[in-house]
Amino acid sequence: GQNIDQPTEMTATEGAIVQINCTYQTSGFNGLFWYQQHAGEAPTFLSYNVLDGLEEKGRFSSFLSRSKGYSYLLLKELQMKDSASYLCAVRDNQAGTALIFGKGTTLSVSS
């Protein structure tokens, strides 16, 4: 089976840096995804990691360590619009191409 853990809530201030952690346990790991979801809306794709290391995309970066079953999403220069839920999702070969999602981390950015 699969198990994905991430913190329920985090808070930060504008301009700061925040790191959202995700740990996972799967039997057939085949990629990790991060999504952003604003309240009442569909998730939007942020990043994809399948090999160990850091992927940088503008203000957002994502890191993966397959041996530790660990990933983090790093958000720099936080803006108020970054207040949202951040979903960690894993592709497990046992579920074909489907993604298994964690419960999400709600980030609140204050001024």
Partner 1 sequence: DGGITQSPKYLFRKEGQNVTLSCEQNLNHDAMYWYRQDPGQGLRLIYYSQIVNDFQKGDIAEGYSVSREKKESFPLTVTSAQKNPTAFYLCASLPGLGYGYTFGSGTRLTVV
- Indicate the DSSP class of residue 16: -
Tell the residue number behind the tokens 């936080």, with chain if given. 78
By the rule CB under 8 A, 41 interacts with partner 1: yes
By the rule CB under 8 A, 44 interacts with partner 1: yes
By the rule CB under 8 A, 38 interacts with partner 1: no
CB of 2 to partner 1, least distance (A): 9
* E strand intervals along the chain: 3-5, 9-13, 18-25, 29-37, 44-49, 53-57, 60-65, 70-75, 84-92, 99-101, 105-110
The one among 18, 36, 43, 82 contacting partner 1 by CB under 8 A: 43
C-alpha–C-alpha distance, residues 20 and 75, integer Å: 8
Stretches 21-29, 30-38, 57-65, 74-82: which one binds partner 1 (CB under 8 A)? Answer: 30-38
Q: Which is nearer to partner 1, 64 or 91 (CB)?
A: 91
Which residues in this chain contact partner 1 in the complex, by CB under 8 A? Answer: 8, 30-31, 33, 35, 41-45, 48, 50, 87, 89, 91, 95-104
